Structure formats: C-alpha cells, structure tokens
Amino acid sequence: MPSHKQRKADKVGTLIIIGGHEDREGKREILKEVAGRVGKGKLVVTTVASEEPEESFEDYRKIFQDLGLKGVTHLNVNQRADADSEENGKLLQDARGLFFTGGDQLRITSLIGETHMETHIHNLFESGGVICGTSAGASVMCETMMIESEGGESHRIGRLRMAPGLGLIRDVVIDQHFAERGRMGRLLGAVAQNPRVLGIGLDEDTAIVVEELCYFTVLGEGAVYVVDGSCITHSNIAEEAEDHILSLYDVKLHVLSEGDTFDLKERRPLNAHQQDAGTNLENSATIPEIENPQETPATDG
Amino acid sequence: MPSHKQRKADKVGTLIIIGGHEDREGKREILKEVAGRVGKGKLVVTTVASEEPEESFEDYRKIFQDLGLKGVTHLNVNQRADADSEENGKLLQDARGLFFTGGDQLRITSLIGETHMETHIHNLFESGGVICGTSAGASVMCETMMIESEGGESHRIGRLRMAPGLGLIRDVVIDQHFAERGRMGRLLGAVAQNPRVLGIGLDEDTAIVVEELCYFTVLGEGAVYVVDGSCITHSNIAEEAEDHILSLYDVKLHVLSEGDTFDLKERRPLNAHQQDAGTNLENSATIPEIENPQETPATDG
C-alpha cells in the first residue's frame, strides 16, 4: 500500500469539523448529519484524544446507534504501537467514516503521527470517506494546528503555540469553542504569522461540512468566523517583543451562520441569494448533490 | 447660556475613553495621561454611574492627588435634581477635566440627560476640556450606546439593547472589557444594525485618547479593535428571526496596540512608519502638538 504522501487522491471525501459541545440530547443536528453521511457504512469512533476513552466511546455509541447507524466501532490508542497494529488497521480499511472525539490534540498527533493508522486515515479520506472531529478533533485536521494559548484576552505576539497537525485540510487554521472561550485574539495571532492560512473559528454546537476541500456549509446553533489576512497592510508580529500586543490592520472578517456556504478556493462566502442567482458560482467549485438530502438541515427562518 | 444643542463648538477638546479596570497601583499609565492632560486645572470626578459613589471617589482622589493634581473634586448625582443644582453646575464651570467612573451607563443618562449638568459637560468639551470615562463611562460617550447583551457568545439578532448616550462622539459605538468578556459578537451586532457607526472595542487597562474628534491614539496594556462595516456585502439582520445567529460578510477589522493612531474621518490606521513618512497624512486630520509630551507614553520596543 502506497503511503498517502505519494498517493494521488482519487476523490477526496467530506470533513465534518465541529467546534465542540455538539448537542447530544436535543435535536442532535450535527451528529445526525454525521450519521446521514455514513449511512449504511461503518463509523469508527477514535478516542485517542481522550483521557477517558471508554466513557467517551460509550456516549457516542449510544447516540449513533439511536440515530440508526449499525456499525459503530471503537478504536482507542494508548501507545504508538496501537496505531501501528494490524487489528486496528483493519478497523479502518472497510470504514465509511471516522470520528475524532475531543480531548488533547497533541495526544492525537504524538500517538498516531507517521504510523499506519495515519496512512489509513488519509486513505479513507482520499477515497471519498467522511472524517469528523470535535474540539481537539477539529483542530487536528489542519496542517499546522493551535495547541495552547489563552482565550479571553487579546493576542500577545509570543503566546501562541502551534504544532504540525494531520494535514487533512491545508491552508486553514481551525479554532473551536470560539465565542465561548473568547478566542478571536489567538486566531488573529495565527493568521498574522502567515496570512496564507485562512483562520476558521467554530462556536460550540456548530460545524462546517467541507466538501472535497472546495467549499463548506455551516450547520448548528452558533457562528463560524472566517479571518482572511490576504489584505493585511501592517502587522507588528515580527518587530515587537514577545509580550507586546499584536497590531494588525485591514483584516477581512466574515461571520457565517447556519446554511451559509463558503468557497475555500475563492475565499468568498456565497449567500443564499448568490447561490440562487448563480452569481460567483461560475468561478467556484461545483456544489455537488448531497447524497442524503433528508438529513440536510434546513436553515432557520 | 446657550444650550450645547445650539452652540457651535469653538475647539472641541480631548476624550480619554478607557476600557475599564485601568491600572491603579502599578505604572498607572492611563490615569497618568489623564493627570497630565488636566495639569494645573481642576478635575471633577463624577460617580453618577456607581452604586458606591463615596468609595469610588475616594479611590480616584488618592490616585490623582498622588499623581500631582491639586483640584480633585467629587460630583455625585443621586437624583435628577442634583444634576440641575446650581452648586453642582459651578463645580463644572471652572473645571479643566471631567472623569466618569464605572458602573451602569443607564444611571448616567437617565439621571443627567437633558439637565444643566449635561449642558455643562458639553460646554466643557466644546471649549477644549478633557472628558474621561472608564467602563460604563466609556460607553456613555457615544450617541447610541450599548447597554446590555451577553458576552462570550456569538451575536443573535434580537439580543442587543441600545440606548441614547451623551453624544460626545458621533458615528462610533464603543464597547469595553472587550477581549476579557468576549464581546466581539455584540460589537459586530451593533455595527450590522447601521454600518455608519464604526465599532470600537477597548480591552481592560487600555484607552484611546481622541483629539478634537479627528483621530485617536492607543494607550495601555491591551488591544483596541476597530470594526468597519462600510464594505459589508451581506447581512441577515433584517431578514431572520430574533434568535438567529448574525451573518455578516466582508467586515474590515483592525487590531491596534499601544502607540497606534487611527484617523476617524478616513477610517484608517496610521502606523508609525506612515506617520514618519507622512503617507496618508495629507488627507488626514492634522495631528496637533501634545501639550505635555513628557506624559505621553512611548511605544514599546
């Protein structure tokens, strides 16, 4: 089996990236979307990020079975050898979807980075599978992920810690629990470091469904913030002392709510009106038919 | 005496607008700036916003006297009659500066709106005086002020409550305790209602010094966020239900730190390099000489 690094993707699949604390008892809109996408296939829930893997799996198993999934399987990793085991590899080889629970994103990457499990995950995604992650499981999808920084304060230049992520989606940096933990400062800090990356901040109980790495649609109760640094005219990030507050001029910010769609290649939101009229879509990714339209949430209002 | 509504300003003065929790024990950089601006004049501290006016005045009296001010005077208002009294009017007539403490901004406007005290405040400002306010005293300076809304969550369309403020500065809406209380959502909500207003979010222990209503300079430990909605291409604020999350595309955001200057008329930051080179200044307000240069904080680094 070729490594995912050499392998050319046939047709990359779907990412469902969740800002943490998704509703598990009410409408369960986001988890319903996951279940709808996996359909009759097998969903592997990996608790590698978690300190309490059994409890975490048990929660999700009940919900996903309640939502109609038949093949919900647990994949836990306590040490790197688990991520290289043939048994665990087989779990992923015939899966339709993978779900990363929350916890610590550094546990995920330090335990599965450069193992067979990582290769299987990329293979699943690159053959059209559904990769989902909530909280730490959301952050880890980026090529470079945020791992630690204070919320609830403005960004000081030297405060942000980043690390290599799984690289399922490139050119973006994802933050979660966004409005709830006051993380605008740190997301601006990440984008300031290199405006090549688009900052995406996800509120709790809010997700983006990323289709073929081309565009995403917002789902859930909160907002999604997109920080586009391409037009920044001034930043003090490379000039000032580490404890100095970040200055950043001319950032473009979009606030998106349920039903809004964003074109990742053009870095543009497509609102409902634009989609109806076909405006902008000529230059955008084609929006494919959704396989389970009955599972797709309607927008409010 | 003509009302401030009919009166044409000779030369409006300086506003020092503080995001709350300004340092009172360490460097006291912001309060030092206030003292420097008042100089040998009289500073009236008004505790109208506060539930504990005596304690609050006593704190500020000690600090301002310690910083060298001779004439620190207390003006408290418990009922509207106090704001109309001749005695209190005299306090303001020969003042050089006025300082609004924190508390509840609705106490300020409901107690002093359309009284002689309000007229005296406008007269002081319009004859070159220094008007300062922290926390509630910052919000109240706007023509339309925010009075209540949740922080730490994204903005829902119907959640923002606003009220008429003192109108010392027009075309802006000011929020305080900004990063600390996760208030980006509500500031975006205020700007979405009418992009004519520029949103200004002030962190704690951070101030803007507004000169002649033309430009401001940032002072203190945190950041100042400027939300410019002039280029917004889409908003759902008038379309969706009250509990729907706000969508807002193409907001311009500036993050400013100590020493940064912002031109309110051009809606542009002027960074140090631009100021040195004179770029943009041709179209901007003339930056006047500051009277007490020794009191002006240097930028870090």
* Per-residue pLDDT tens over the stretch B150-204: 677 888 888 888 999 999 999 999 999 999 999 999 999 999 999 999 999 999 9
Q: Check A182 against B153: CB less than 8 A apart.
A: no
Judging contacts by C-beta atoms under 8 Å, the chain B residues touching residue A234 are 269, 271, 273
pLDDT 10s digits, A59-116: 999 999 999 999 999 999 999 999 999 999 999 999 999 999 999 999 999 999 999 9
- Distance from C-alpha of A26 to C-alpha of A298, rounded to nearest angstrom: 16
- Chain A closest-CA separation from residue B212 CA (Å): 23
Judging contacts by C-beta atoms under 8 Å, the chain B residues touching residue A158 are none
Return the residue of B nearest to A240 by Cα. B301
- Distance from C-alpha of B89 to C-alpha of A40, rounded to nearest angstrom: 78
Q: Check B252 against A256: CB less than 8 A apart.
A: no
Residue numbers of B annotated as active site: 135, 177, 204
Please enumerate residues of B whose Cβ is less than 8 A from a Cβ of A: 151-155, 178-182, 184-185, 188, 203, 221-223, 234, 236, 239-241, 244-258, 260, 269, 271, 273, 300-301
Judging contacts by C-beta atoms under 8 Å, the chain A residues touching residue B221 are 245
Residue numbers of A annotated as active site: 135, 177, 204
Judging contacts by C-beta atoms under 8 Å, the chain A residues touching residue B257 are 236, 240, 244-247
- Chain B closest-CA separation from residue A280 CA (Å): 13
The answer on pLDDT for B280 being more than 80 is no
The answer on pLDDT for A226 being more than 50 is yes
Judging contacts by C-beta atoms under 8 Å, the chain B residues touching residue A176 are none
Closest Cβ opposite residue B152 in set A180, A223, A251: A180
**Low-confidence winner among A42-46, A151-155, B175-179 (lowest mean pLDDT):** A151-155
pLDDT 10s digits, A198-219: 999 999 999 999 999 999 999 9
Size of interface A-B (CB pairs under 8 A): 136
Overall fold of domain B10-281: Rossmann fold (3.40.50)
- What pLDDT sits at residue A159? 83
ipTM above 0.85, yes or no: no
- Chain A closest-CA separation from residue B220 CA (Å): 10
Return the residue of A nearest to B262 by Cα. A249
Mutate to test the interface with B, among A203, A225, A249 (most CBs of B within 10 A): A249
- Chain A closest-CA separation from residue B136 CA (Å): 20
- What pLDDT sits at residue A259? 95
Name the residue ranges covered by the structural domains of chain A.
10-281
Mutate to test the interface with A, among B184, B219, B251 (most CBs of A within 10 A): B184
C-alpha distances (whole Å) from A171 to each of A15, A200, A265, B147 are 15, 11, 10, 39
Judging contacts by C-beta atoms under 8 Å, the chain B residues touching residue A203 are 153-154
pLDDT 10s digits, B110-150: 999 999 999 999 999 999 999 999 999 999 999 999 987 66
Q: Check B254 against A245: CB less than 8 A apart.
A: no
AA identity, residue A4: H
CB B251 within 8 Å of CB B228 = yes
Closest Cβ opposite residue A249 in set B223, B271, B300: B271
- For A157, the token pair is 């230049």
DSSP state of A220: E
Q: Check B250 against A254: CB less than 8 A apart.
A: yes
- Chain B closest-CA separation from residue A88 CA (Å): 39
Judging contacts by C-beta atoms under 8 Å, the chain B residues touching residue A188 are 255
Q: Which backbone phi and psi does B48 adopt, to 5 degrees?
A: -60, -30
Q: Check B251 against A250: CB less than 8 A apart.
A: no
pLDDT 10s digits, B52-92: 999 999 999 999 999 999 999 999 999 999 999 999 999 99
Closest Cβ opposite residue A223 in set B151, B154, B241: B154
DSSP state of A61: H
- Chain B closest-CA separation from residue A200 CA (Å): 14
Task: Assign A241 a pLDDT band (cuts: 50, 70, 90).
Answer: confident
AA identity, residue A281: L
